[in-house]
Structure 1
Amino acid sequence: MDFELTEKQSYWRDRVRDFIEAKVRPAVPVYKEQDAAGDRWKVIPILEDLKKEAKAAGIWNLFMPPSSGHPHVDDTVAFEGPGLTNLEYALCAEEMGRIGFASEVFNCSAPDTGNMEVFMRYGTAEQKQKWMVPLMNGEIRSAFLMTEPAVASSDATNIETRMVRDGDEYVINGVKWWSSGAGDPRCKIAIVMGKTDTEAQRHAQQSQILVPLDAPGVNILRHLPVFGYDDAPHGHMEIELKDVRVPVSNCILGEGRGFEIAQGRLGPGRIHHCMRTIGVAEEALEKMTKRLLSRVAFGKTIAEHSVWEERIARARIDIEMTRLLCLKAADMMDKVGNKAAAAEIAMIKVQAPNMALKIIDDAIQAHGGGGVSEDFGLAAAYAHQRTLRLADGPDEVHARAIARMEFGKHGGRPSSRISSGDMAATR
Structure 2
Amino acid sequence: MEFGYSPKVEALRTQVRSFMDTHIVPRVGAWNDEVRDGHYPVTFMEDLKALARAEGLWNLFLPSLRDSEPGTRLSNLEYAPLAEIMGRVSWASEVFNCNAPDTGNMELLHLFANEEQRSEWLAPLLNGEIRSAFAMTEPDVASSDATNIQTLISPEGDDYVINGRKWFITNAAHPNCKLFILMGKTDPNAESHRQQSMVLVPANTPGVEIVRNINIMNHHSPEGHCEVLFRNVRVSRRNLLGTEGSGFELAQARLGPGRIHHCMRSIGAAELALELMIARAGERRTFGKHLHEHGAVSDWIAKSRMEIDQARLLVLKTAWMIDEVGAKAARKEISMIKAVVPTVHTNVLDRAMQTFGAMGISPDTPLADHWTWGRALRYIDGPDEVHLRSIARLEIKNKQEALGASSTHLSQTKRF
Q: When the two structures are superposed, what TM-score results if normalisation uses the length of structure 2?
A: 0.94
The equivalent of 1:393 in structure 2 is: 382
Per the TM alignment, residue 124 of structure 1 is displaced from its structure 2 partner at its CA by 0.8
Task: Say yes or no: does 1:187 pair with 2:177.
Answer: yes
1:157-193 Cα offsets, whole Å, 9 max, x none, are 0000000011111000000000100111000101000
In structure 2, C-alpha distance between the alignment counterparts of 1:338 and 1:227, rounded to whole Å: 31
Kindly state the Cα deviation for residue 412 of structure 1 after the two structures are TM-superposed.
8.1
Matched, 1:259 2:248: yes
Separation in 1 of the partners of 2:247 and 2:3? 38
Letter in 2 for 1:11: A
2:345 alignment counterpart: 356
Give the structure 2 partner of residue 178 of structure 1: 168
Q: Which residue identity does 2:233 align to in structure 1?
A: V
Out of 372, 376, 396, the position equivalent to 1:383 is 372
Alpha-carbon distance in 1 for matches of 2:41, 2:3: 41
| CA–CA distance in structure 1, aligned partners of residues 151 and 309 of structure 2 | 42
Say if 1:3 and 1:143 are closer, same or farther in 2 by CA, change over 3 A. closer
How far apart, in 2, do the equivalents of 1:230 and 1:183 lie?
11
Q: Distance in 2 between matches of 1:312 and 1:43?
A: 37
Q: Distance in 1 between matches of 2:262 and 2:229?
A: 27
User: Alpha carbon RMSD of aligned pairs, Å?
Assistant: 1.6
Q: Is the 8 A contact 1:404 1:412 kept in 2?
A: no
Residues 220-263 of structure 1, C-alpha deviations (whole Å, 9 max, x = no match): 1111000111111x111000000000000000011111011111
User: Which structure has the larger Rg over C-alpha atoms?
Assistant: 2
Aligned with residue 320 of structure 2, among 321, 331, 335: 331
Report the secondary structure of 1:239's partner residue. Answer: strand
**Aligned-pair distance for 1:60?**
0.5
Q: Which residue of 2 aligns with 1:55?
A: 53
Tell me which protein shows more helix as a share of its residues. 2
Residue 168 in structure 1 maps to residue 158 in structure 2:
yes
Q: Give the Å deviation of 1:38.
A: 3.3
2:100 is matched with: 110
**SS state at 2:227 partner:** strand
What letter is aligned with 1:44?
Answer: V
1:78-131 deviations in whole A, cap 9, x for unaligned? Answer: 432121101011111101100011100000001101111111110011111111
Query: What is the deviation of 1:409?
Result: 2.7
CA distance in 2, matches of 1:168, 1:339: 34
Aligned to 1:15: 15
Aligned counterparts of 2:242 and 2:356: Cα–Cα separation in 1 = 51
The two structures have a TM-score, normalised by structure 1, of 0.92
- Note the C-alpha offset of 1:43: 1.7
Q: Distance in 1 between matches of 2:279 and 2:329?
A: 41
Identity %: 49
- Structure-1 separation of matches of 2:343 and 2:401: 28
Counterparts of 1:334 and 1:8, CA distance in 2: 17
In the alignment, is the contact (CA less than 8 A) between 1:31 and 1:47 conserved in 2?
no
* Equivalent of 1:212 in 202, 211, 233: 202
Equivalence for 1:158: 148
CA distance in 2, matches of 1:381, 1:38: 21
Map of 1:5-404 to 2, 5 A cutoff? 5-38=5-38, 42-66=40-64, 78-232=68-222, 234-404=223-393
d(CA) in 1 for partners of 2:196, 2:231: 18
Which structure 2 residue ranges, 5 or more long, are not aligned?
A: 403-416
Counterparts of 1:259 and 1:138, CA distance in 2: 27
Which residue identity lines up with residue 399 of structure 1 in the other structure?
Answer: L
Tell me the distance in 1 between the aligned counterparts of 2:271 and 2:199.
Answer: 38
The count of aligned residue pairs is 403
Aligned to 1:70: none
5+ unaligned residues in a row in structure 1: which ranges?
68-74, 414-427
CA distance in 2, matches of 1:331, 1:388: 22
Partners of 1:123 and 1:25 lie apart in 2 by: 36
Residue identity matched to 2:17: R
1: CA distance, partners of 2:90 / 2:331: 28
Aligned partners of 1:30 and 1:46 also within 8 Å:
no
Quick one: distance in 1 between partners of 2:4 and 2:186?
Answer: 49
User: Looking at both structures, which has the greater relative contact order when contacts are Cα pairs under 8 Å and sequence separation is at least 6?
Assistant: 1
Counterpart residue identity of residue 290, structure 2: T
Deviations 1:186-207 (A, max 9, x none): 0010100000001111110000
Could you tell me whether the CA contact under 8 Å between 2:197 and 2:246 is conserved in 1?
yes
Please say if residues 218 and 242 of structure 1, whose CA atoms lie closer than 8 Å, have aligned partners that are also in contact. Answer: yes
Residue 410 of structure 1 deviates from its aligned partner by 3.2
Structure 2 residue identity aligned to 1:213: A
